[in-house]
Structure 1
Amino acid sequence: MAKSETSLFARMVVRVAAVLLFGAAGLVVAAWFYARTAADVAYDRLLQGAAVQIVENLAIIDGKVEVTVPASAFKLLALAERDRIFYRVIGPQGRTLTGYADLQPDPRKLPKSDEVSLLSTHFRGSPVRMAIAGRRFFDPSFTGPAYAIVAQTTEARHALISELTSRATGLVGIMSLFGLAGAVLAVGYSLRPLNRLGAALRQRDPRDLTELAVEAPREMRPFVDSINHFMGRLGGRLKQSERFVADSAHQIRTPLTAISAQLNMVDETGLDQASREHLDRARERVTEMARLIHQLLSHALVIHRFESTALAPVDLVAVTRHAFRAAVPITIDPDIVVSFEAPETPVIVMADTLSLREAITNIIDNAVRHGAVARLEVRVRTEGETQAVVEVEDDGPGIGAEDWTRLTQRFAASSGGKGVSGLGFAIASEVTQALGGRLWHRPATATERFAVVMTLPLAPEAADRKEG
């Protein structure tokens, strides 16, 4: 049994989804970096502008550095309601001219004149971003640098980063879903040739071993070629089996016929009683062997025909009448009353004529050999609107319920050791099952005789006509 695995469609969709997931994760990380950069650039420019405005408004009056902090320097920074703003102006000798005296930058980060430095640090327990703008004065009363420091907490920029990242994540998620849906459609469309190939194989007649004529992509050609190669080999094997059956029938039946003829030519006038008994046993064995070989070949033929022949509408009345004539010998005991009953109109079923006739012949033959004592009746009738029935009834002892199952198997015999059926019921049972019917027996009762009954479904056209 082939190992069951997930479908190719599911495997491809899972792999595409994994690729999209990794791609989406990469895009989200890139969006976070971009959002952080954008937020830093936007807020850093505001800090730089504020620091530059403050340092530009420094002036030397009467030899002293005077500070005038413009309100506009903090208006834009004040738009970030979550953030706190700190500033400090450093004059000569590092004196604090105004602002927070404890706002101490790293001396190594102090810019040169007319430059602005940016750094991240902590102030009063909060992370801040700091801008330091420098200006050098050249005046007879004062020469040296002065600095304006503006610091802002980072809550607003982190909120902006989160907002930009979440929006980008949502957009990436939506695009990924659209991409996955498109991938599902694309994979399904790409796998249509496999579905067409599967449909062609499912709808193909089991007896059709010709090459597949189905359009397939280049990647599927080795698979289609392998199927065609296998069907070619299988067809060759079936033809060999057919030839073997035909050759066996000819090669085996001919010597048996010759042996039977030689035994019938033996002059019994000079034989004693024991020799006559031996001769009778030999004739019986040859007859049994001929019948068994005929059943074996018939069984092989039935199997082969069901594998290689399409079913067609068949008149069950005509087939049963032919089987009746073949199974009831001319030399039957004249004391046995034999009858055949059938409707005048055809009873149409879907079957293979030869296989169906062989099955009915075996049922009648078994009744002639092992059942009928004084009466044998064969009837064909319809039952309801959908069933056709062949009934073979005799006045023999019948078959017990415990023996019936075994008698539909090969070389089965009744529990009493008599009435060996060989392959007769086995052939009939296999043919009936292959045609969608049922083979069963009706036990003998005080009012009814024993019967073997074959029920088959009527052909659709025949069933429609009955309903009409």
Structure 2
Amino acid sequence: MRSRSSLFWRLAGLISAILLGGAAVLAFAASNYAETAADDAYDRVLYGAVRQISETLSAENGVVEAQVPVSALETLSISRSARIYYRIATAGAANVTGYDDLPFPPGAEAGGAGPFVGDTTFRGHPIRIAAVGRYFAEANGWVMTVVGQTLEARDALARDLTFKAMVLVGVMSFLALAGMIVAIRLALRPLADIEAALLKRPPNVLTPLDVEAPAEIATLISAINNFMERLAGRLAAMQRFIADSAHQIRTPLTALTGQVELLAAEKDQARRKHHMERVKARTAELARLTNQLLSDAMVSHRAETMGQSEVDVAMLAREALASAVPISLDRDITVAFDAPAEPAVMHGDAVSLREAFKNVIENAIQHGARSLLRVVVRKTGTGIEIEIADDGPGIPAEQWPQATERFFRGKSSGPGSGLGLAIAKEVIQNHGGEIRFAAAEGIFSVLFRFDGIKAS
């Protein structure tokens, strides 16, 4: 199993990255907001000071007089590091009082009521300046009042607001991260419950899990239950195979061992020959039983694991007939095969179908056919039919319902395992068909019918 990182840490890392990105966006927004808020607050103070100074101006006989109130400048001197500059001049730049080199903000040179505001550099310091104008007829024009303030105070206010916003964002991010960790732990708890439920189970308990879980994990539980159901089926089949094999093989092995011991102890040649024949018969019976048990296991396995493809049923029946009929028989049997000229094609597993046909043909040879064995493949209006017939005594009609059960041998005392028809039935049912029996005019037939399929 490939090692993967913890689901918890993957989720925590992903959500932490999202929170970190969100915190960075909030910090950037908070910094911009703090700068805007600081500028807005100090601009209002700056506007108030300019207007207050402008309102003290007077003009008489063409001379402008100014009395700069101290209170107007005190409001701008909250910060000890801030520097305040002011200037009163006519629109023609004739200085009345203040710093005669203090520049006008953009648009104020031509006069106007304002207010005008802008940023500039004065005497090596970046400052924020604002100007308003008053029109005096005695002065023949506009008198502009300009006040400037260095940026230390507003920068300090912006930093203070930014820091407080950062602290708030940090605290909220920490709380969100802590809540996220708790939420992930709670969300992943059903997985831990599933793990605990599986670890507590004994190896032989494969019943469905009964664990409460949210809808997102219900599909996982359903998949686990489905897997355990299939595993239980496979284990049951394996246990059945082991039990059947032990039960069925033990008897012929015991009999074979006894015959070998008798053969080893017998001195009379005639009786040694008789025991030798019995050993051969027991060996053949054991070989057939072993082959059928393996065939049964193979058919069960392929029914669950192998896919289906297009197969020619007529060709499979022909191959099964050739494989099942031995080269030498102890009686003369006429073997006939009849199939349409065109292939009888259907979807299926070639190996399983061939094994089913072979088992029934071998049953017919061993238990039925006296002088005739016939295999016929027919296309019907709705599908395909395969008939395996012989002129033997067949199976009594009252035993037909039980004839396809595993290890059912009826009243037969001959050799056999009772698996041939059971294997055939399982294969045919896995292919959506059915198995039937028929008897007429001394001929017993086993019919395989595949209806509702497209035979081509």
Q: Aligned partners of 1:114, 1:6: CA distance in 2, in Å?
A: 69
Give the match's secondary structure for 1:81. Answer: coil
Q: Aligned partners of 1:17, 1:111: CA distance in 2, in Å?
A: 57
Mapping 1:129-168, distance limit 5 Å: 129-139=128-138, 142-168=139-165
* Contact kept in structure 2, 1:126 and 1:153, CA below 8 Å: yes
Shift of 1:110: 4.1
* Contact kept in structure 2, 1:111 and 1:134, CA below 8 Å: no
Q: Residues 356-377 of structure 1, C-alpha deviation per residue, up to 9 Å, x if partnerless? A: xxxxxxxxxxxxxxxxxxxxxx
Shift of 1:158: 0.7
Partner of 1:206 in structure 2? Answer: 203
Partner of 1:113 in structure 2? Answer: 112
Partner of 2:257 in structure 1? Answer: 260
Q: Residues 381-412 of structure 1, C-alpha deviation per residue, up to 9 Å, x if partnerless? A: xxxxxxxxxxxxxxxxxxxxxxxxxxxxxxxx
Among 219, 223, 234, the residue aligned to 1:222: 219
Q: CA RMSD in A?
A: 2.7
Q: Aligned partners of 2:8, 2:118: CA distance in 1, in Å?
A: 54
Give the match's secondary structure for 2:48. Answer: helix
Q: Residues 227-246 of structure 1, C-alpha deviation per residue, up to 9 Å, x if partnerless? A: 11111111111111112112
What amino acid maps onto 1:113 in structure 2? Answer: G
Partner of 2:238 in structure 1? Answer: 241
Shift of 1:44: 0.9
Give the match's secondary structure for 2:157. Answer: helix
Shift of 1:211: 0.8
* Contact kept in structure 2, 1:118 and 1:129, CA below 8 Å: yes
* Contact kept in structure 1, 2:111 and 2:133, CA below 8 Å: yes
> What residue ranges of structure 2 are gaps of 5+ in the alignment?
291-456
Partner of 2:418 in structure 1? Answer: none
Shift of 1:5: 1.4
Q: Aligned partners of 2:228, 2:195: CA distance in 1, in Å?
A: 15
Q: Residues 176-230 of structure 1, C-alpha deviation per residue, up to 9 Å, x if partnerless? A: 1111111111111122111111111111111101111111111111111111111
* Contact kept in structure 1, 2:92 and 2:109, CA below 8 Å: no
* Contact kept in structure 2, 1:111 and 1:117, CA below 8 Å: no
TM-score in terms of structure 1 length: 0.55
Q: Aligned partners of 1:263, 1:23: CA distance in 2, in Å?
A: 88
* Contact kept in structure 2, 1:110 and 1:117, CA below 8 Å: no
Q: Residues 12-43 of structure 1, C-alpha deviation per residue, up to 9 Å, x if partnerless? A: 22222122212211221121111111111111
Instruction: Report the CA distance shift for 1:228/1:188 in structure 2 as closer, same or farther (over 3 A).
Output: same
Instruction: Report the CA distance shift for 1:203/1:153 in structure 2 as closer, same or farther (over 3 A).
Output: same
Partner of 2:11 in structure 1? Answer: 12
Partner of 2:73 in structure 1? Answer: 74
Shift of 1:93: 3.4
Shift of 1:149: 0.7
Q: Aligned partners of 2:189, 2:110: CA distance in 1, in Å?
A: 69
Q: Aligned partners of 1:262, 1:80: CA distance in 2, in Å?
A: 120
* Contact kept in structure 2, 1:88 and 1:97, CA below 8 Å: yes
Q: Aligned partners of 2:108, 2:10: CA distance in 1, in Å?
A: 57
Partner of 1:104 in structure 2? Answer: 103
Give the match's secondary structure for 1:215. Answer: coil
Over the matched positions of the two proteins, sequence identity in percent amounts to: 45
Instruction: Report the CA distance shift for 1:96/1:221 in structure 2 as closer, same or farther (over 3 A).
Output: same
Instruction: Report the CA distance shift for 1:79/1:147 in structure 2 as closer, same or farther (over 3 A).
Output: same
Mapping 1:35-434, distance limit 5 Å: 35-91=34-90, 93-105=92-104, 108-110=107-109, 113-139=112-138, 142-266=139-263, 268-270=266-268
Partner of 1:349 in structure 2? Answer: none
Partner of 2:299 in structure 1? Answer: none
Partner of 2:453 in structure 1? Answer: none
Partner of 2:21 in structure 1? Answer: 22
* Contact kept in structure 1, 2:62 and 2:140, CA below 8 Å: no
* Contact kept in structure 1, 2:91 and 2:143, CA below 8 Å: yes
Q: Aligned partners of 2:25, 2:185: CA distance in 1, in Å?
A: 27
Instruction: Report the CA distance shift for 1:223/1:93 in structure 2 as closer, same or farther (over 3 A).
Output: closer
May I ask how many residue pairs the two structures share in their alignment?
A: 278
Give the match's secondary structure for 1:233. Answer: helix
* Contact kept in structure 2, 1:32 and 1:165, CA below 8 Å: yes
Q: Residues 88-108 of structure 1, C-alpha deviation per residue, up to 9 Å, x if partnerless? A: 110263211111111122563
Q: Aligned partners of 1:168, 1:127: CA distance in 2, in Å?
A: 26
Instruction: Report the CA distance shift for 1:231/1:111 in structure 2 as closer, same or farther (over 3 A).
Output: farther
What amino acid maps onto 2:73 in structure 1? Answer: F
Instruction: Report the CA distance shift for 1:111/1:215 in structure 2 as closer, same or farther (over 3 A).
Output: farther
TM-score in terms of structure 2 length: 0.57
